Amino acid sequence: MPATEKTWRDQLKMHVIFGITSLVMLVSTIWMLWKDHNREWRKWQLADRERAHWTIEAQLEQTKAESQGQLNTLYLQLSEVKRSKIEDALIENFRQIVQAEDARLAEAGIEEKPVDFTDLNAAQARLQSAEAGSDEAADAREAVLGELAEITNEAKRRELALTGQRKFMAADLTAAVSLRGIAVGEGESTETHDAEIRKLTEEIAEQDVKVSNAKSYRLALESVVSEIQATENDLQKRVSSIEADIARLQTQLDQNPGRVLDNPLETVVRWPIIDAFNTGGIKLEQIWLQDMKINYNFSSVARYDRCTNCHRAIDKTAPGSATAPAYPAIPRDQRVRALQLVPPAKVSEVVAAGKVDASTMEALYGLRLANRGQVNVDDVTVQVVHPESAAAKAGLETGDVIVAINGGQVQSAADVRHYLLELAEPNIPQGIDIRRGLDQPFTSHPRLDLFVGSTSPHKRGEMGCTICHDGQGSATEFKWTSHTPNDPAQAREWALNYGWFDNHHWIFPMTPARFVESNCLKCHHNVVELEPSDRFPDPPAPKLMEGYHLVREFGCYGCHEITGFDGPQKRLGPDMRIEPNYYDVAKQIASDPALNATEREWAMTLVERPEDNSAREQLMRSIKQDASLAATQAPSPAQTTARLTKETHQLADALREVEVPGSLRKVGPSLRHIGAKVNYDWLYHWIRRPADFRPTTRMPQFFGHFEHLSDEKQEFPLHNEVGEVEMVTDLDYTKRFEHIEIRALTEYLLKMSQRFDYLKPPTNITESASPDRGRWLFESRGCLACHSHGEFPGIASNQGPDLTRLAPKLNTPNGQQWLYSWLKQPNHYHSRTLMPNVYLEPILETDATGAPTGRVTDPAADIAAFLLGASAPWQPEVPTPQQQLSPREARDLEDLTAVWLTPSFQSKRLAAEYANKGIPERIAGTVKVDEMVLVGSLTPENRVEKQLEYVARRSLSRYGCFGCHDIPGFETAKPIGTPLANWGRKDTSQLAFENIGQFLATHGINGDQKPSAGHGEEASHEEHGLDPGDFGPDTGYFLQSLLGHQRIGFLWQKLRMPRAYDYQATVNKRYDERLRMPKFPFSESQREAVMTFILGLTSEAPDPKYVYKPTPRREAIVKGREVLDKYNCAGCHALELERWNFAFEPSLFGEPSKTNDYPFVQPVLSPEQIAASLAEDRRGMLQAHLYGMPAKNETTGTPQIVDADGVPIEPTDKSSLPFYKFTLYEHAVVNGAARLVGEPDPLVPASRSEYGPLNGVGHVGWGGDLAKYLYPRVIAKERETNPSAVAGEAWGWLPPPLHHEGSKVQADWLHDFLMDPIALRPAVVMRMPNFHMSSDEASKLVNYFAAQSNADFPYEYNSQRRSGYLAQREAAHPRLLDDAMKIVTNNNYCVKCHSIGDYEVRGGVKAQGPRLDLAYQRFRPEYLRRWIASPKRILPYTAMPANIPYDGNDPQLQRLFPGSSTEQVNGLVELLLNFDEYAKRRTSVKGLVAEPPAAAPTGRGTPPPRP
């Protein structure tokens, strides 16, 4: 105890301080709780709960509104039925059943009280006397039904009693059986038991009869009663179903609380801690993906995605749809749309009556507004739209926010009434601006068919969100989730509204919207599986696919390896590697003159078919054997010395087997024989700037990128003409060196070019080359499927180069010869070219009657003449330099040589000396391959030549030309670029941004401005003077990314100006160390597409169970797709036709025409299909899905627009309603009925503004551009000689659509056809060319077609050709084949158009069909049957008639082939499928073999004596 009460400090003051600090502590604690409780996600969840409440309420009201009328009708009908009379016959029927039963019972002696009908009779009498529809009738009816029910119940009671008795008997029987078993076990007699069992069994049998009688009696009664009540029950069921819907929504609404404020109790239970007892739907959710790991460097951790805490509606589908999003994420700029609302006629009178309230609105317009907005309370939002009302017709939907009416802003519901009731005039459309759709996070995923949805392949619970989107899935706050803005404006908006910042600590920031498709590549390693398919006709990843194709077309993989494998088994991503260079190597080996004949044969085999393993291995072994001779130092007398050169020996290794070979070819043409093709003049300009000669070329530009170079400071040393060092600017320095490089490359390529044997024209040609003939040949022989040409503006393809301008390149003696050889047989020049052999064989001209005129033309010469003649002029940008170097150029060459030598000799002085005098022989053993050129002393005579060669070799290596071209001497060179396999995750610290910000700031965003003087150097880092906000969303976004030193920005700039990163860096780099990436001619969107692909290369394949594993059928489609793309099959053939999905008024399509088809060609419609085609939407419209294409105008080839009568509409006619005649290629179900292929084309309402159907979407087809282009042209051509040619049949003269190919042809046949196409259809203007594809590729295509058509593959079993089948059939129909042959050979039938055996059809080729004798190899049996039965059901355009109409009783036909028409068709099929058997039977060989002389009998086993 203190001695005194006095304390050091004033206690009162201390208490006050204590009090204050305690209060502060309390505040801090409460604040902490509050902060923890009010985390951001709660806010969003509460908002979403309110929104959900709003939606359910709206749905409920909408359902009520929609069903009210129906429900009222139903109630009315129900009450009517309940007041109606009952047919006496039915009651009498009932009575008879009862009486019959009573009689039966009495007969059987069963005592049952007979049924008393008194009450029933009385009730029936009452009902008869009552007036139908009166209350009395209702009463009496109920009484009758009550009586009937009573009797039925009695019958039921009796049945139950009997069933009960049977149960007891059965139990007794079981007991008896068990007692007998015991008796047997104990060795006792079983007699008594057996008797008992027998007795019981008999009794049970009797009882069963009784039960069954009672049951059938009861059922009979019940059926009568239900017949009486049938209508009633049916109505009741419909009422219940509607009521259940409403009740369900009502329950949902009751269970789904809306605003917290609406519920006083909830304001309390939402408090911290207490809220644990009642979440009210507000709780933290997460998707836990145990196997979908995320890589945290030291370990891979299971993923937790909490995105759905805020994005709660992400997987919500629209009512009644499995895939349509409930809350579509409509882009902001498309949200506001203008609608036209037509006020009904009554509007003025209603308003005149002063009724301007909400109910009037609803009554007049069918429009009810909600009392608050869906998310923003103040929005004037549509709640209910009555079906078929004015509002529904205008297209208003629940949830639309009315923004303005007739330009006037709308703030409240009263405004809407003001505009629509008070100001609107009847029948005058009112413009309504509405805003549709919600903001994030209230929206649903836009592609629920693909993602998140329960029927999608990427289900929410299985995939989560961050595997595709990236971002911080565990975070629950906007700013921590690493959302990534799509442009600077969005970044700013987010930063201000949500505290967003660029959290560089999270290494997987969300992929911005523009690149979201990138991440598909994590699991879809084959890429092409992301093309649109039957299941997903909307392209799943269009941008990514475009990027992929660009990477393929531009050959990025030539320099940048894209490896998708980690070892032979583990797959990490897309694999795009060049195929093993066996072709180049074999070509080079073949140039070794010392090769022996066998080796040369192997080498040539490899050149033709690099996939030939045995030739490759034998060649390698042989060369290695020779090399081992060379390695032996002192050859003993037994050994010979090596034959082959050292270079050939070194190439042997390149023939080794590759474990997982790449599959892509080099994209550029071979330069191995370039000297045989072009000359110095052209090549110089081409290397200098390819676009100078051909603006559309895909070859990138290597030289002339000077935007980053300075032309002010003189900092670079060069020697002038007299050998003095002078300082020049960077620009001069670079220009002079590049000039030398281009010249060196040009000369070197020509110099090392190997010999090429041109093809010689055939000798029987009588006509000289004609550009006019060439023009038509060029157009019609398929060239335009891959090439563009200025003369033919209607079609453009970029599979091959644009051929508009060829003369300046090839109009030389060499060039002309080369062009002829190339056209005639492209693989003769380069066997890895994708250009096919189009069979330009000499043409024997015929006259109109088909008789030969004796003139023979050479199509290859004609086309060459056309190409060289119809060439656009060209003036190179710069004059071609003299081949002799000027003294200054010679100095520059030497300087450049010295620069190149510097790294090898570490000393500029030595390098300069060697460049001038040559590398001394004594150190020859230490120098690199390229430098061997300079070994030995250089003389004034050979100096320039050697230096040029050296520089050219170095430049080739540096720029990696061999990545795209086959260049002699560079067969084994490795790709020079950065591998891209995981570029999408490349650490930004490994990217050299250098001074790029400064460059763009001083040279302008496109690098085309002159830097303002003095600005460049002083501007400090902070002041680069570029604000991304100043640019458009795209440029701004990329610029922001670039200045923020992010990957995306780097890539963007690298693709735009690849050398710009050298800005201000060239000063400290040797010339050979500078950046060397060329510039590719990408457009903005192409660049973004390429980036999408590159950014998706992450090598982050998730657990194999998530990686896309196609079904075998799907895999076949994917693999085949690669080959189709490779050879551009779609250039000629339509591989997929158009799919049109649209809505239409039910009255639009009339009844389909009646057809008389074989049962097996008729479509089988499922009830679901029919029901779906009859389902009306809210507008009262039906949905149709058509497959095919609109009919084309026969002179222009464009889709023909017609009026309602099918008459073409003139472009000037603006009044008629437009339609397309849509030619079906697959049966469709429209309006509950089948529309068949080959029937008259249905008219589909056309959209006025753009191509496609009105009220719907037309998914474009795939391929067939050339066929469409040629369609009008072949008609015109044909009509020159045959004015009556039918336009529709012209499709048959063109490459056929292949959408059914798999079900049509046999796999074997197709494979062989693809490998070596035969001429098939005489009518077709061109032949299928020969692509020289490998057997593997052909197989892939075969499997593709089969898989696509759901046919069997890779083999199919053909039962109709198995042994014994014919015998079986002939047992039923003797002389089957002979009879069928009668049909074939009848002049009215097959042979009218088809040749068969040694019979040839005469007449114009357009009327000829394919030969029939090979049909057995080609067709699948079922297809052939359907084809013969009804060709138009398969190909609507075919000229082939249905020769054997169904059930037609043509006596003539009977004479040929007795039997029904089906049997006749089958007979024809069997003949065609067994034509070889038929031919065999008619061929006798026996007579050709001489009878052997009768031999003397010899011992067994002794061979007959030889003659």
Partner 1 sequence: MHAPPDFAEKVSSFLVWYYITLAVMNGVAAYYLWQKTEPVTYFRTRLGNATISFTNALLWCLVAVAFVVLASMTGPNLGTMPQLPEWFRTFVNESTGPVIYTVGTTLVLMVLFFLRSWFVKPAVAWSIWNLMLLFLGLSMPDPDFYGIVAKPDNVPIMALIFLLAFFTWLATYRAVENDRRKELGLPPVEKEGSEKILVWPDLVYTEMICMIALTALLIFWAMWLQAPLEEPASSVKTPNPSKAPWYFLGLQEMLVYYDPWMAGVVLPSMIIVGLMAIPYIDFNKSGNGYYTIKERKFAYITFQLGFLELWVTLIVLGTLLRGPNWNFFGPYEYWDAHKVEALNNINLSQYVWEIWLGQSLPAVPALTWLPDLLRPFGQFLAILFGRELPGTLLVLGYFIVLPPLMAVTVLRGFYNRMGFIRYMVLAYLLLFMASLPVKMVLRWVFDLKYLIAIPEYFLNF
Distance (Å, whole) CA 609 – CA 582: 9
Binding residue (CB under 8 A) for partner 1 from 225, 495, 1005, 1019: 495
Over the window 1445 to 1484, marking each residue x when it contacts partner 1 by CB under 8 A and - when it does not, the resulting string is: ----------------------------------------
Binding residue (CB under 8 A) for partner 1 from 28, 598, 853, 1498: 28
Interface with partner 1 (CB under 8 A), residue total: 39
Cβ proximity to partner 1, 857 vs 1040, nearer residue:
1040
| 302 near partner 1, rule: CB under 8 A | no
| Token digits of residue 704 | 């002339």
* Window contacting partner 1 (CB under 8 A); options: 58-66, 283-291, 495-503, 1107-1115: 495-503
What 3-state class would DSSP assign to 1318? coil
| 17 near partner 1, rule: CB under 8 A | yes
The label of the residue with tokens 């012209």 reads: 1290
| Token digits of residue 48 | 């979403």
Closest distance of CB 1107 from partner 1, Å? 24
Closest distance of CB 292 from partner 1, Å? 17
Distance (Å, whole) CA 616 – CA 655: 6
Q: Give which of 898, 586, 588 is closest to 737, Cα–Cα.
A: 898
Distance (Å, whole) CA 1080 – CA 1059: 12
Q: Which of residues 30-59 bind partner 1 (CB under 8 A)?
A: 31-32, 35
Binding residue (CB under 8 A) for partner 1 from 22, 128, 598, 1085: 22
* Window contacting partner 1 (CB under 8 A); options: 3-11, 48-56, 739-747, 852-860: 3-11
Cβ proximity to partner 1, 505 vs 1214, nearer residue:
505
Cβ proximity to partner 1, 232 vs 305, nearer residue:
305
Q: Which residues of 1005-1044 are buried (b: 16+ CB within 10 A; e: fewer)?
A: bebeeebeeeebeeeeeeebebebeebeebbbbbbbbbbe
Closest distance of CB 22 from partner 1, Å? 6
Over the window 610 to 649, marking each residue x when it contacts partner 1 by CB under 8 A and - when it does not, the resulting string is: ----------------------------------------
- Contacts for 1428-1432 with beta carbons within 8 Å, 24 or more apart? 1428/1465, 1428/1468, 1428/1469, 1429/1157, 1429/1158, 1429/1160, 1429/1161, 1429/1465, 1430/1157, 1430/1158, 1430/1161, 1430/1238, 1431/1238, 1432/1237, 1432/1238
| 209 near partner 1, rule: CB under 8 A | no
Distance (Å, whole) CA 199 – CA 63: 65
Cβ proximity to partner 1, 29 vs 886, nearer residue:
29
- Contacts for 792-795 with beta carbons within 8 Å, 24 or more apart? 792/1269, 794/1197, 794/1269, 795/1265, 795/1266, 795/1269
* Window contacting partner 1 (CB under 8 A); options: 792-800, 1018-1026, 1201-1209, 1241-1249: 1018-1026
Binding residue (CB under 8 A) for partner 1 from 496, 631, 1488, 1495: 496
Binding residue (CB under 8 A) for partner 1 from 107, 987, 1018, 1398: 987
Binding residue (CB under 8 A) for partner 1 from 109, 255, 261, 296: 296
Q: Taking a C-beta distance cutoff of 8 angstroms, is the pair 518, 1093 a contact? A: yes
Residue 1021: what are its φ and ψ, rounded to 5°?
A: -60, -40
Binding residue (CB under 8 A) for partner 1 from 755, 922, 1021, 1105: 1021
Cβ proximity to partner 1, 17 vs 209, nearer residue:
17
| 24 near partner 1, rule: CB under 8 A | yes
User: DSSP readout, 985-1007?
Assistant: G--GGGS--TTHHHHHHHH-TTS
Closest distance of CB 1031 from partner 1, Å? 15
| 886 near partner 1, rule: CB under 8 A | no
Q: Give which of 103, 95, 100, 101 is closest to 148, Cα–Cα.
A: 95
Binding residue (CB under 8 A) for partner 1 from 111, 113, 298, 1250: 298
Closest distance of CB 495 from partner 1, Å? 4
| 937 near partner 1, rule: CB under 8 A | no
* Window contacting partner 1 (CB under 8 A); options: 285-293, 491-499, 859-867, 1175-1183: 491-499
Cβ proximity to partner 1, 24 vs 345, nearer residue:
24
* Window contacting partner 1 (CB under 8 A); options: 1-9, 419-427, 446-454, 851-859: 1-9
Q: Which of residues 1128-1167 bind partner 1 (CB under 8 A)?
A: none
What 3-state class would DSSP assign to 1406? helix
Residue 848: what are its φ and ψ, rounded to 5°?
A: -60, -30
Closest distance of CB 375 from partner 1, Å? 24
Q: Taking a C-beta distance cutoff of 8 angstroms, is the pair 1349, 1301 a contact? A: yes
Binding residue (CB under 8 A) for partner 1 from 136, 203, 502, 1125: 502
Residue 577: what are its φ and ψ, rounded to 5°?
A: -125, 155
Closest distance of CB 289 from partner 1, Å? 18
* Window contacting partner 1 (CB under 8 A); options: 94-102, 493-501, 1003-1011, 1492-1500: 493-501
Closest distance of CB 492 from partner 1, Å? 4
Distance (Å, whole) CA 1288 – CA 1274: 11
Q: Taking a C-beta distance cutoff of 8 angstroms, is the pair 561, 574 a contact? A: no
- Residue 211: exposed, middle, or buried by beta-carbon count in 10 A (0-12, 13-18, 19+)? buried
| 342 near partner 1, rule: CB under 8 A | no
Distance (Å, whole) CA 1345 – CA 854: 42
Q: Which of residues 246-285 bind partner 1 (CB under 8 A)?
A: none
| Token digits of residue 825 | 């047989």
Cβ proximity to partner 1, 6 vs 113, nearer residue:
6
Cβ proximity to partner 1, 544 vs 1026, nearer residue:
1026
Binding residue (CB under 8 A) for partner 1 from 425, 724, 941, 1022: 1022
User: DSSP readout, 1445-1486?
Assistant: -TT---HHHHHHS-S-HHHHHHHHHHHHHTHHHHHHHT---G
| Token digits of residue 281 | 């739907």
Cβ proximity to partner 1, 31 vs 1160, nearer residue:
31
Binding residue (CB under 8 A) for partner 1 from 189, 614, 764, 989: 989
- First vs last C-alpha separation in the chain: 145
Q: Which of residues 1040-1059 bind partner 1 (CB under 8 A)?
A: 1043-1044
Binding residue (CB under 8 A) for partner 1 from 307, 491, 578, 1305: 491
Q: Give which of 236, 240, 211, 212 is closest to 226, Cα–Cα.
A: 236
Cβ proximity to partner 1, 635 vs 1029, nearer residue:
1029
Let me know how long the chain is.
Answer: 1507
Cβ proximity to partner 1, 413 vs 489, nearer residue:
489
CA distances from 128 to 98, 137, 363, 1176 (A): 21, 8, 43, 42
Adjacent-strand bridge partners of 304: 288
List of residues 6+ apart from 623 with CB closer than 8 A: 589, 599, 644, 648, 649, 651, 652, 655
Binding residue (CB under 8 A) for partner 1 from 506, 839, 1031, 1365: 506
| 25 near partner 1, rule: CB under 8 A | yes
At residue 537's C-alpha, the angle toward residues 535 and 543, to 5°, is 120
| Angle between the N-to-C axes of helices 887-905 and 943-959, in degrees from 0 to 180, rounded to the nearest 10 | 60
Closest distance of CB 46 from partner 1, Å? 22
H or E element that contains 1134: strand 1134-1136
Chain contacts with partner 1 (rule: CB under 8 A): 2, 7-9, 11, 14, 17-18, 21-22, 24-25, 27-29, 31-32, 35, 296-298, 491-492, 495-496, 499, 501-502, 504-507, 987, 989, 1020-1022, 1043-1044
